[in-house]
Amino acid sequence: MSSDCEPRANHSPHSLKNFALIGAAGYIAPRHMRAIKDLGHRLSVAYDINDSVGIIDSISPQSEFFTDFERFLEHAYRLRRDPATALHYVSVCSPNHLHHAHIAAGLRLGCDVICEKPLVPTPALIDELAEVERETGRRVYNILQLRHHDAILKLREKVAAAPRDNKFDVELTYITSRGKWYMESWKGDPRKSFGVATNIGVHFYDMLQFVFGPALRNEVHLNAEAKAAGYLEYERARVRWFLSIDADDLPAEVKGKKTTFRNIDISGEQLEFSEGFTDLHTTSYREVLAGRGYGLADARPCIEVVDTIRNSPPTAARAGEGHPFLKGRSA
């Protein structure tokens, strides 16, 4: 299908690309802005319902900015009149429940879209976006940055080299404590964030299937407002997982010293990847611009996992399948 944007024949990552960014006031937006700048491209216009976007001054002060989506869209359409200003990409960093609508709007502007996690909450919405891709001839890319982390890539190589009948035992714990503000924000509203497992866990579920293959079994043991836990069996791994935003869940050895605890134990070995995150968005953008970005099909497995977690009633853990942090907690 034809489009009003620049023809995709010019897919060189070295030619200047014009970007729009939706959700400019969010926590993760500066990483997208810096990736665009660091790779030598232009953030032409940004939008957010909130105007706390002073960070733009240090990254891209020349960018147009709107707090009304209608005015943002009108400006984007006017940019299409001149090939030199026409948008090539729309980056989506808005609250989770708006991703689908903003992705579709970007595609219909005639642009490829780069979206934060979680792409959408359900596999059905992935199918819907695939239809919009077919209608517009444009592509959706998801930021799945853990796939670019050196430690994860080395682990993937290790698993691939292990005997095929070797199944790894994985214990995943991620506690990132949040203050009272969290529950007052969209992140604390499960209708908008889709819950803890989706909001803070989706990258881990993507990483697990990237390393250990398809998910075969998905059991939920706890699904509460501030924490969730369960058991996942992948082709090459058995995974006990626990996620929380509650500071009370921090282990005694870090409580009062750190606000975050991340631990992944793989058959008795610790996976150390507390560093190396700084440039992963830039790497993700570089891959998208080179035509190697992760699309809808790549995002589907982790979306299927979180969709099942949200819709499965918690059950008691079978012997050996419960995370240690579950002790004393009811389903």
The full DSSP string for 84-140 is TT---EEEE-S-GGGHHHHHHHHHHTT-EEEEPSSS-SSHHHHHHHHHHHHHHT--E
Interstrand relation of 42-47 and 112-115 (parallel, antiparallel or unpaired): unpaired
- Tell me which of 295 and 278 has the higher pLDDT: 295
Q: Residue 328: what pLDDT? A: 63
Q: pLDDT > 90: what percent of the chain?
A: 89
Percentage of residues in the chain with pLDDT exceeding 70? 94
pLDDT-derived band of residue 273, with 50, 70 and 90 as boundaries?
confident
In a domain, 4, yes or no: no
Cβ–Cβ < 8 Å for 69, 98: no
Instruction: Select from 123, 143, 163 the last residue of a domain.
Output: 143
Of 121, 143, 165, the residue at which a domain comes to its end is 143
Q: Tell me the mean pLDDT in the region 223-234.
A: 97
Instruction: Check whether 118 has a pLDDT greater than 70.
Output: yes
Region 55-64: mean pLDDT is 92
Mean pLDDT, to the nearest integer, of 53-80? 95
- Residues 155 and 127 placed together within one structural domain of the fold: no
Cα–Cα distance measured from residue 96 to residue 190, given in angstroms and rounded to the nearest whole number: 10
Residues 84 and 176 in one domain: no
In a domain, residue 300? The reply is yes
φ/ψ (deg, to 5) at 69: -65, -35
The order of strands in the sheet holding 168-176 is 215-223, 227-234, 237-244, 168-176, 260-266, 269-270
The answer, yes or no, to whether residue 50 has pLDDT greater than 90, is: yes
pLDDT band at 329 (very low <50, low <70, confident <90, very high): low
Q: Are residues 49 and 129 in the same domain?
A: yes
Q: pLDDT grade, residue 331 (50/70/90)?
A: low
Cα–Cα distance, 88 to 113 (Å, whole number): 9
For residue 168, report the phi and psi dihedrals to the nearest 5 degrees.
-85, 145
Question: Of 87, 122, 143, at which residue does a domain stop?
Answer: 143
Count of structural domains, the chain: 2
Both 218 and 138 in one domain: the answer is no
User: pLDDT class for 137, splitting at 50, 70, 90?
Assistant: very high
Do 160 and 304 belong to one domain? yes
Q: Is the pLDDT of residue 287 over 90?
A: yes
User: Is 13 inside a domain boundary?
Assistant: no
* The token pair that represents 13 in the structure block: 């990552």
Same domain, 132 and 36: yes
The answer to whether residue 331 sits within a structural domain is no
pLDDT (tens digit per residue) in 301-328: 999 999 999 999 999 999 999 999 998 6
Confidence of residue 14 (pLDDT cuts 50, 70, 90): low
What confidence score (pLDDT) does residue 272 get? 76
Q: Which domain holds residue 219?
A: 146-277+296-326
pLDDT at position 83 is 96
Q: Residue 217 corresponds to which tokens in the numbers above?
A: 């079994």
Exposure string of 150-181, with b = 16+ CB inside 10 Å and e = fewer, is eebeebeeebeeeeeeebbebbbbbbbbbeee
pLDDT band of 102, cuts 50, 70, 90? very high
Answer whether residue 6 shows pLDDT above 80.
no
Residue 330 has pLDDT above 60, yes or no: no
Domain identity same for 126 and 189: no
Residue 231: CATH number of its domain: 3.30.360.10
Residue 33 to residue 55: CA distance in whole angstroms: 9
Indicate whether 5 pLDDT > 60: no
Give the chain's mean pLDDT: 93
The neighbour count for residue 330, using CB atoms within 10 Å, is: 9
Note whether 184 and 223 are same-domain residues.
yes
pLDDT over threshold 80, residue 21: yes
Indicate if 306 and 226 belong to the same structural domain: yes
Q: Give yes or no: residues 22 and 104 share one domain.
A: yes
| Same domain? 159 vs 220 | yes
- Read off the pLDDT of each residue in 174-185 and give the average, rounded to a whole number: 94
Distance CA 310, CA 300 (A): 15
Q: 289 is written with which tokens? A: 């611009």
Residue 2 clears pLDDT 70, i.e. is over it:
no
**pLDDT band at residue 9 under the 50/70/90 scheme:** very low
**Same domain assignment for residues 172 and 313:** yes
CATH code where residue 66 lies: 3.40.50.720
- Does 195 score more than 70 pLDDT? yes
- For residue 3, being part of any structural domain is answered with no
Q: In the predicted model, what is the mean pLDDT of residues 178-183?
A: 93
**Domain presence at residue 220:** yes
